[in-house]
Amino acid sequence: MSFLRLYLKYDGSVQRVAQETFVHRNTINYQLAKIKKILGNSLKTFEERFKIILAFEVRDVL
């Protein structure tokens, strides 16, 4: 599972993603910063996160 998907699953908890993936928090933060830059999205509001969650769900169905 991707860092972004886990980050959204655990409601933005970097610590929980780090525990789940056995990766250091700094690595998670670095990867998320790159993802946010690519998306042009800060993922701070519910609406921003919801769009990404919905996209993952649609991809799973297809």
pLDDT tens digits, 16-57 = 999 999 999 999 999 999 999 999 988 989 999 999 999 999
Q: What is the pTM of this model?
A: 0.86
Domains: count for the chain: 1
Burial annotation 26-46 (CB, 10 A radius, 16+ → b, else e): eebeebbeebeeeeeeebeee
Domain that holds residue 13: 3-61
Report CA 9 to chain centroid distance, whole Å: 8
